[in-house]
């Protein structure tokens, strides 16, 4: 695993030990960011189910100012912190050990809204639409923001979730990617 583009291009990233996480492949990561940008002029991101932190670190390398990383696995948290330190990104990040639902409720209390939200939950949980709905209901996404969802290609989320509309969708073998934003 490595950073694909931006200020940290080529920087190696450590994977979470064991088989509990499924890192986004470089090919899919590159496609995701080509769909979103590929570069950013500032902004804040949320990497929920962060795993190794690869998506959030890629977003920072491509120009986001700050990313909040959340994962409930202690090995993942250790890996995220190691990768952030190795990339000298600790000042541009917050890292929390929490499950997704509790983390989103804590974010509501802090009254934070994001420009980019990366959702890559365990495929078996099939929680994407529930999470996107919560994000919409609690205004956790800025008006011009995007929610990126990664999922098993055999369980596509719907085209609309609340006020959020799917604007892009791609399939890479067993992996599906959908991007939601508010309709203009």
Three-state secondary structure readout of 105-174: HHHHHHCCCEEEEEECCCHHHCCHHHHHHHHHHCCCEEEEEEEEEEEECCCCCCCEECCEEEEEEEEECC
14 pLDDT above the threshold of 70: yes
List the one residue out of 71, 72, 67, 44 whose CA is nearest residue 57: 67
List the one residue out of 147, 103, 155, 108 whose CA is nearest residue 127: 155
Mean pLDDT of 70-79: 95
List the one residue out of 95, 90, 26 whose CA is nearest residue 60: 90
20 pLDDT above the threshold of 70: no
Domain residue ranges of the chain, discontinuous segments joined by +: 26-182
23 pLDDT above the threshold of 80: no
Provide the whole-model pTM.
Answer: 0.94
Contact 24, 45 (CB under 8 A): no
21 pLDDT above the threshold of 80: no
State the pLDDT at residue 43: 97
Q: What is the mean pLDDT of the chain?
A: 92
Mean pLDDT of 127-136: 92
Beta carbons within 8 Å of 13's beta carbon, 6+ residues apart:
1, 2, 3, 52, 53, 54, 57, 83, 86, 87
Name the phi and psi angles at 176, rounded to 5. Answer: -110, 145
pLDDT confidence tier of residue 124, bands split at 50, 70 and 90: low
Both structure tokens of 80: 């995220």
State the pLDDT at residue 121: 85
Both structure tokens of 143: 């008006």
133 pLDDT above the threshold of 70: yes
Fold classification of 26-182 is: Rossmann fold (3.40.50)
């Amino acid at each position: 695993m490595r950073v694909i583009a931006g200020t940290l291009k080529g920087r190696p990233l450590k994977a979470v030990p064991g088989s509990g996480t499924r890192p986004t492949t470089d090919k899919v990561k590159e496609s995701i960011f080509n769909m979103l940008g590929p570069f950013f002029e500032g902004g804040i991101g949320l990497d929920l189910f962060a795993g190794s932190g690869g998506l959030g670190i890629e977003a920072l390398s491509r120009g986001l100012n700050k990313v909040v990383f959340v994962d409930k696995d202690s090995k993942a948290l250790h890996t995220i912190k190691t990768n952030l330190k190795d990339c000298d990104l600790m000042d541009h990040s917050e890292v929390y050990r929490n499950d997704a639902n509790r983390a989103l409720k804590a974010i509501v209390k802090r009254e934070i809204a994001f420009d980019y939200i990366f959702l890559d939950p365990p495929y078996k949980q099939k929680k994407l639409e529930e999470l996107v709905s919560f994000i919409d209901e609690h205004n956790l996404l800025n008006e011009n923001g995007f929610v990126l969802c990664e999922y098993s290609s055999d369980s596509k989320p719907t085209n609309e979730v609340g006020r959020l509309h799917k604007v892009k969708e791609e399939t890479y073998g067993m992996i599906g990617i959908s991007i939601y934003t508010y309709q203009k």
